[in-house]
Amino acid sequence: MSDPKTVIQQLFNRLHWLVKLRWLAAAGVFAVVFGFSQIFHPRYSVLPLYAVALFLVAYNGLIYAALLFFRKISYSSANFLANFQIFIDLTCLAMLIHFSGGVENPFGFYFIFHVIIAGILLSRRAALFQTTYAALLFLGVAWSEYFNLLPYYSLGIASLELHHQPGYLFAVSFVFISTLYISAYMTTSISHLLKDREKGLMKANQQLNEKDRIKSEYVLHVTHDIRDDLSAIQTCLEPVEKEVIGSLNKLQADLLKRAQSRCEQLIRYVNALLDITKLKLTRQLTLEPFSLEIMIESICDSVRPLAESKNISFHVRTDLKEPAVKGVRIYLEEALLNLLKNAVRYTRPAE
Amino acid sequence: MKKKILVVDDDQDFKAAISILLEAKGYEIHQASSGAEGFSKARLEKPDLILLDVMMTHRTEGFDIAQKLHTEETTKDIPVIMVTGISKETQVFFKYEPDEVWLPVKEVLEKPVKPEALIKAVEKHVR
């Protein structure tokens, strides 16, 4: 349960969440455009809006497939994917706004929640970059339409001609952009606070696990020592109790029998405690992938000098189809090393 | 003449208990607290049986001494009984099968060993 792995998993889950939201967004665009065109019969064609919605569906499908296909993803590529998606989303939103009235369109406010999503998903710097991109898109659409650099597609509801009123444009630009930056700032602050706290918790949890493991090992050690002592006590008691070294009177025999049976009981307890502690320690082991080939090589390197000093020829041949395995590396290493060392130690040197 | 038994174990109480038990059974007991001491006493005293612990100064000392005794001309015919808590200690629950080359001993007994079992084994293997 290492730190970066969980962070990647979290980002990965959020990418899935983003894909789900985008299905809703695309459906929403279809519904709103359809409803709007049925009620208001706008002067301009709504086809470009449908086209953008279709593009959203297609590109969301691709992202979805990519997430399914690349189950294992590095942090940097997950991060890139998040940035890329937000960038495309902002562009799509700008196009939708442009083809449906520009500054007149109240859906312009939707830029704000895109910025909030960026603040949750991305690093502070990337979120700031996306916020700036959103601001530029909004300003670009508004002022290009004002200067007739881009055509103006009137919604046809209000004949306010808002896009041609510089005072209004200035006011909207100012309020809009300040709202964007403030939202981005607040979201990144909160989400970073949460991320830091999460990291702290994870670290504390790891330390606790480690401490628990050390404690278990200590218990194991002490229990072994106790059992050795009990075993000696029993060996001392038994010959007396069994009257091998002389007969006892009835009372002596009774007391000794009691002592003996308590001692046996204690040995059973201690054995149970040993078993439980060992089980606990094995449960705390984490399986990790590692290369068998590298492990075998390093083990053989440490045994080879001993073998050669005894004039035992020592060859290593591996034919591994799958050189990487998953397991507890140190245990397997210890087992193999012991086997090899004993094999060398108990093999008679060649004449 | 009394039969001689050499008890090699680093646990003083265990050694004492076994010695008293076997002395009561009429054996002459010699003691050693380490593998090296056990080996030299075996050569010197030529006992009729050796009781050997496994884990002393290092974890496999008993095995090594058993092999050394087996290869040494003056001691190779002395029967050895191994008395050990090693399988509980290492949680390896297989039986140690005595073997000419690897484990040249007559029998392996688990600690704590019952007096009857010990006496039976000693009577069976003593020269």
Length of chain B: 127
Minimum mean pLDDT among A18-27, A167-176, B26-35, B50-59: which range?
Answer: B50-59
Average pLDDT on A156-175 reads 79
- With contacts defined as CB-CB under 8 Å, which chain B residues touch A242? 115-116
Q: Is the pLDDT of residue A316 over 60?
A: yes
Range of the domain at A25: 4-209
User: Is residue A221 assigned to a domain?
Assistant: no
Please report the pLDDT score of residue B93 as a whole number: 47
What is the distance between the terminal CA atoms of chain B, rounded to a whole angstrom?
12
Span A238-250, mean pLDDT?
88
B residues 17..76 contacting A (CB < 8 A): 17-18, 20-21, 24-25, 67
- Report the length, in residues, of chain A: 351
Is the same domain home to A187 and A293?
A: no
Best mutation target among B23, B88, B93 (most A Cβ atoms within 10 Å) is B88
Task: Flag whether pLDDT at A128 surpasses 50.
Answer: yes
| Total number of domains in chain A | 2
**Residues whose CB is less than 8 angstroms from the CB of residue A348 and which lie 6 or more positions away in sequence, other chains included:** none
Q: Which residues of A touch B17 (CB under 8 A)?
A: 232, 235-236, 238-239
How far, in Å, CA of A274 to CA of A9, rounded? 37
Average per-residue pLDDT for chain A: 87
Q: Do A304 and A204 fall within a single domain?
A: no
Residue at A280 is within a domain: no
Reading across the β-sheet that carries B107-110, which strands appear in turn? B28-32, B4-8, B49-53, B80-84, B107-110
Report helix, strand or coil for B5: strand
Q: Are residues A100 and A205 both part of a single domain?
A: yes
Is A271 in the B-facing interface, judged by CB distances under 8 Å?
Answer: yes
Q: Does residue A252 lie in a domain region? A: no
For residue A259, tell me if it sits in a domain. no
A18 located within any domain: yes
**In a domain? residue A226:** no
Of B11, B91, B115, the CB nearest to A239: B115
Q: Do the Cβ atoms of A224 and B89 come within 8 Å?
A: yes
Please compute the mean of the pLDDT values over residues A90-97 and round it to a whole number.
Answer: 93
Answer whether residue A1 shows pLDDT above 50: no
Q: Is-contact B9 B109, C-beta < 8 A? A: no
- To the question of pTM greater than 0.80 for the whole model, the response is no
The ipTM assigned to this model is: 0.78
Q: Name the helix (H) or strand (E) containing A326.
A: strand A324-327
Residue A162 has pLDDT above 80, yes or no: no
Contact status of B123 with chain A (Cβ, < 8 Å): no
Is A272 within the bounds of a domain? no
Q: What percent of chain A is modeled with pLDDT above 70? A: 96
Pick among A235, A248, A264 to test the B interface (most B CBs inside 10 A) = A235
Tally of CB atoms within 10 A around A126: 19
Residue A193 shares a structural domain with residue A315: no
Residue B59 pLDDT more than 90?
A: no
Provide mean pLDDT across the span A44-54: 89
Which tens digit of pLDDT belongs to each residue from B22-57? 999 999 999 999 999 999 999 999 999 999 998 887
Query: What digits encode the pLDDT tens for the residues B86-115?
Result: 655 555 545 566 666 667 888 888 888 888
Looking at the domain assignment, is residue A75 inside a domain? Answer: yes
Q: Which of B71, B79, B22 is nearest to B46 (CA)?
A: B79
The encoded tokens of residue A169 equal: 């444009």
Which residues of chain B does A271 touch, with a Cβ-Cβ cutoff of 8 Å? 88
Of A209, A244, A273, which marks where a domain is finished? Answer: A209
**pLDDT reported for residue A2:** 42
Give the pLDDT of residue A313.
83
**Residue B32 per-residue DSSP state:** E
User: Is residue A311 very low, low, confident or very high in pLDDT (cuts 50, 70, 90)?
Assistant: confident
Residue A258 CA neighbour count, 13 Å, CB half: 5
β-pairing verdict for B80-84 and B49-53? parallel
Contacts by A291-295, CB closer than 8 A, 24 or more apart: A291/A323, A291/A324, A292/A318, A292/A320, A292/A323, A292/A324, A292/A325, A293/A318, A293/A320, A293/A323, A295/A329, A295/A332, A295/A333, A295/A336
A265 touches B: beta carbon within 8 Å: no
